Structure 1
């Protein structure tokens, strides 16, 4: 029993130490993460967009397209695209142009997943099928069919 407790304590400690070391090269305020750290927490930006989405503040989400924060820009794009798909929002021509620019952008954004994956990637990479898979569960959860 003591050995099991020690193993659990070691794993939790290792995760926390990794969290601190891994974060040195990422920007926590400009991070996209749907299940980060030991507890599977959402990043600050994901939480912010989630609140706006729950409160149906779609225009506020659209305003994030022009944010200086690349994580906000990404979250705005994936959320607005889903809203458009569900006929809950209509994009202006200007917004469509901005979305296309964001999808081609080489600007960096920080991402996290679990305890140990922290990285910076180009925004355009975030729209690849592999990376968009991370966002898909979040989108599916908040856009459940009624």
Structure 2
């Protein structure tokens, strides 16, 4: 016999698996819906629950894929504030991309540099090269005088 908590955990995992499958099919709106449903099931206080971070990251990522930068930024900000969020290269990548798209170039540079330092050049491989070009432009080595 399973407990109510185990049932909720299983449903959260099921919704996230559906969301991931839809994202793989590039149905980002459908995926976003599944991840939002999963987040709504996480018991309060949600920020104490271990799945909150990756569900927030998934929601933020789907907003990025849909070009909804302000909305996605809020979920990534929440994710970075949770345990192990600070220093996560993917979270910093998306935060930098959101800032870039929203015109906050100082914040974009900071976050993209964190992503690069934590994840290397490869972290930029799946996205528009403009983000890596920008971080390279601000991280060029100092010249000897």
TM above 0.5, yes or no, is: no
Higher relative contact order (CA 8 A, sep 6+): 1
TM-score, structure 2 normalization? 0.32
TM-score, structure 1 normalization? 0.32
**Greater share of helix residues, 1 or 2?**
2
**Greater share of strand residues, 1 or 2?**
1
